Amino acid sequence: MGPEDLKRVLKLLPDQRQAEEVLVGLETPDDAGVYLLDEENALVHTLDFFTPIVDDPYLFGQIAATNSLSDVYAMGGTPLSAMNIVCFPCSLDMDILAEILRGGADKLREAGVALLGGHTVDDQEPKYGMAVTGKVHPKKILRNRGAQPGDLLVLTKPLGTGVLASAIKADFLTERDATDAIQGMVTLNRKASEAALRAGARAATDVTGFGLLGHLATMLPERGVGCELYLDQVPYYEGTREMAESGMVPGGAYRNRDFMKGRLDVAEGLDELELLLLCDPQTSGGLLLALPEEGLEAFQEAMEPDGFFRVIGKFTADEGARITIR
């Protein structure tokens, strides 16, 4: 669902007078809910599922699981247990479902997360994902907001999965051509999350359906802090630009862009396509972090030897809390 529609629907919910144990709830656009247990422990809850974005069922299972776990990592938490959520047509070969679930289970094992059960619904289009429970120290929650002027904006996976999934759907690319992006989508955000905590990151979220700009906007408060984006530092998976130029920009990118327009300060003459790419909806995207400059070295060390990241911008003092693209 697009950000605008979601906002409208959530507004219709009756006012949820929250228990004081609710540390993170509906009132902020955070990645997961957090519920306080005691001084040392809080529970992190999240749920995510979606339709296949690749044809290979095992890969799809892995991507869906990686994506579901990501919200816990984005809160600075450690995932503990998970439940499968499955929609699947009875008419389809059950071996396909078995492969999807095997992909998910393998990813959970890699993350050290226990699979406790799940629920299956007969549906025309397959969908798969998980509800994940994790833990976090109540004083070490990485919320979306908290960035201060001067903090670096760090992204831990390239962008472009929306465009590439579209291209795979259209047979412009095979899954083999998109190896780079698929590898990225099955990479856990665990290492990035641990590195962020070690380096003293002040805020974090993960990049998913609202695209880079949409999720960056959730890191900015109503006023006081803005962000300057370094356009030439934003990384893309191989083939993204080429496929976007061939007409593979997904509808979600346009919706995300339209939603963001009022908050952007864009350099004159910026190519339309560049802006759309920054709004490309991501599946299992990387973490987006606000990192104090003095933490960069520690972060880099913690991401060695093969953890991907780029510094793609800097938070600024800005009354209008705008995103500047230069």
Where does this chain bind another protein (CB under 8 A)? 166-167, 169-174, 176-177, 241-242, 244-251, 254, 273
CB of 54 to another protein, least distance (A): 15
Q: Measured from the CB atom, is 65 or 244 closer to another protein? A: 244
CB of 258 to another protein, least distance (A): 10
Q: Measured from the CB atom, is 171 or 319 closer to another protein? A: 171
Cα–Cα dist 320/221, whole Å:
10
CB of 234 to another protein, least distance (A): 16
CB of 173 to another protein, least distance (A): 7
Give CA torsion, residues 302, 305, 306, 308, to 10 deg.
40
SS (H, E, C) 176-224: CCCHHHHHHHCCCCHHHHHHHHHCCCCEEEECCCCHHHHHHHCCCCCCE
The answer to whether 204 touches 288, Cβ cutoff 8 Å, is: yes
CB of 308 to another protein, least distance (A): 15
Q: Measured from the CB atom, is 199 or 243 closer to another protein? A: 243
Query: Tell me, what DSSP letter sits at residue 85?
Result: E
- 10 Å Cβ neighbour count for 271? 9
Q: Measured from the CB atom, is 91 or 124 closer to another protein? A: 124
Beta-carbon contacts of 62 under 8 Å, excluding residues fewer than 6 positions away, are: 103, 104, 106, 107, 186
Pairing assessment for the beta strands 114-122 and 78-88 based on DSSP bridges: parallel
Q: Measured from the CB atom, is 50 or 315 closer to another protein? A: 50
Q: Measured from the CB atom, is 137 or 241 closer to another protein? A: 241
Q: Facing residues of 114 across strands?
A: 81
The candidate with the shortest Cα–Cα distance to 144, out of 50, 191, 210, 236, is: 210
CB of 2 to another protein, least distance (A): 12
CB of 255 to another protein, least distance (A): 9
| 221: region left, alpha or beta (phi > 0 left; psi from -120 to 50 alpha) | beta
Q: Measured from the CB atom, is 149 or 251 closer to another protein? A: 251
